[in-house]
Structure 1
C-alpha cells in the first residue's frame, strides 16, 4: 500500500485525529516489518489475488487487525475502487459500542 493507497473515514468518535494517525500507521505497515511485533500491520499478500478474492481477504485481514490493535473503533464498511490495476479500499469506521 505504498503512497497511501487507501482512504479512511471515521465517524461518531472522539479523538478523530489520533485514531486517524494510528489507523493510517496500521494500514500502511506491512505485516512482519515491525521487529517488536511481527503481527502488526496488514498482510499485503491478499492483493496479489484476483479482485473478488483480494477484496474478501483484505476485508477479513482489516477486521482482525482493527479489532486487535484499535479496539476503540470498528469497521462499518469497506468499499473498493479499482483503477489502473490498483485496488483502493475506502474504509469507514465508527465508534465501537461497549
Structure 2
C-alpha cells in the first residue's frame, strides 16, 4: 500500500532549508498553491489560475481540483495527487488540502 501525505496550504510556512526530501516536497507544493500564473517574472506559466478568486464554493471546487492536480503534478513531478479538499472558513477564505503519494523511486 502506498503511503499518503496530507498538506493543508499555509501561506506563512516557508522553510528555505528543508532537512529532508519530504520537507522539500511539502515546501514546493505549498509554493505552487500560493502562486498565481503570470506573477513570476521569466516563469509566467508557473502557479495556479487567478480565475478562482471570489467564486462561490459550488463553482470553485470542481475547477480548482482539476487545476491543482494538473499544476502540482506538473511542477512537482515526484508526487501523485490523490485528492483535493477545501476548507471553508467563516471569514470566506478557503484553503486547499492536498492528499498525495510519492511516485515509485522517490526516497524520503
TM (norm. structure 1) is 0.77
CA distance in 2, matches of 1:47, 1:56: 14
CA RMSD, Structure 1 to Structure 2 (Å):
2.0
Q: 1:43 aligns with which of 43, 49, 66?
A: 49
Aligned residues: 88
- Counterpart CA distance in 1 for 2:21 and 2:83 is 20
Secondary structure of 1:55 counterpart: helix
TM (norm. structure 2) is 0.71
Contact conserved, 1:67 with 1:74, CA < 8 A, in 2? yes
**Higher helix residue share:** 1
Whether 2:97 is the aligned partner of 1:96: answer: no
Aligned counterparts of 2:38 and 2:80: Cα–Cα separation in 1: 23
Name the structure where strand makes up a greater proportion of residues: 1
**Structure 1 outlier segments of 4+, above 4 Å:** none
